Chains A and B, each alone.
Chain A
Amino acid sequence: MRFSDGQLERYSRQIILKEVGVKGQERILASKILIVGAGGLGAPAAMYLAAAGVGTLGLVDCDKVDLSNLQRQIIHSTRDVGKPKIASGRETIRDLNPDVKVVAYQEWVSAANIADIIKDRDYDFIIDATDNFPAKFLINDASVLLRKAFSHAGIIRFQGQTMTYAPDQGPCYRCVFDSPPPADAVPTCRRAGVLGVMGGIIGTIQATEALKYILGRGELLTGRLLTFDALTMNFRHVSLARREGCQVCGANPTIRELIDYEQAACDM
């Protein structure tokens, strides 16, 4: 692949890194990353990945932009209120970097469509930027079954957590959390609130993991959960072991098909 002068200049600050170089930039431009959720986590992740030159960015979201989103979902602007999030996201990315092809899926993920979405462009890496547990378990199970790497994250109030799954490299989300909590059992951002920067900090870490995975550089957050408390500025790693009895990635998996769990009624 030959870079244009514009591309050489645009990506010069990362091409100069020995961990990236011309080869790494070629990999980034050829990469395909799927972001499920164009909200607090997905917005910064999508923007940094677009800026880095990820060639194909899939965006999945069925929602429209609401004024209450703008406190944290920085891919959308005041003029975008009422627009589908994927349309607003695509416009922002187009303005940011015309090298990026955005594939927009205006739908919610479900057991019926997630495998098709992942296979649609044979995405290299998936970012779970969703707000709800049925979607988080669905992304995990689909990634395990299709042998795809993905980044999990969650944020609430001043707290965040993230971990990375890669096939044969440590535990999946279901090793840590066996099954989704009942609807309404754990607090949501809508009810409990979230500081806008939490999506920026944790979503940017997810984008970092995606780039490291594409480049094959550094150590991923596989086998460790990174937790962050903004009030104390404590970042912690919790070492995670694979669970032999995991329903989806264990020695004798019982989950071989995707499951639609009930959505938390208040927030969906």
Chain B
Amino acid sequence: MRLTVNGEKVEIEGSVSVRQLLVSQKVATPEYVTVQLNEEFLNTADFDSTMIKEGDRVEFLYFMGGGQGRNEVQ
């Protein structure tokens, strides 16, 4: 099955859920990733029950902090 993950063409075997895709794509912090499936946000609760289909476009969106860089303990 061919799909697009974060803009890259990916080929996977068999049927997989979004949760399994997170694992097979080696997403570092799967519990804090936002998933968009074909440009729709997916609820975390639906990661197990949502199956990936041929041609799906999947986006993993990651938390990114950075910028200010505080120096002192508040």
Q: Which residues of A contact B (CB under 8 A)?
A: 37-42, 61, 63-64, 66, 68-69, 72-73, 108, 129-133, 135-136, 153-156, 159-161, 175-178, 181, 185-186, 188-190, 194, 198-199, 203, 225, 234, 236, 238-241, 243, 263, 267-268
Contact = CB atoms under 8 A, between A and B. Distances in A.
B70 A268 contact: yes
B14 interface: no
Given A129-B68, A185-B32, A267-B70, A154 B41 contact: no
Interface in B16-70: 29, 31-32, 34, 36, 39-41, 44, 59, 61-70
Main secondary structure on B side of the interface with A = loop
Contacts of B64: 153-156, 159-161
Interface of B: 6-7, 29, 31-32, 34, 36, 39-41, 44, 59, 61-74
7 contacts: A154-B63, A154-B64, A177-B34, A181-B63, A186-B65, A194-B66, A241-B39
Q: What 9 A-B pairs come out closest when comparing CB atoms?
A: A154-B64, A39-B68, A37-B68, A131-B68, A41-B67, A155-B66, A66-B71, A189-B66, A181-B32
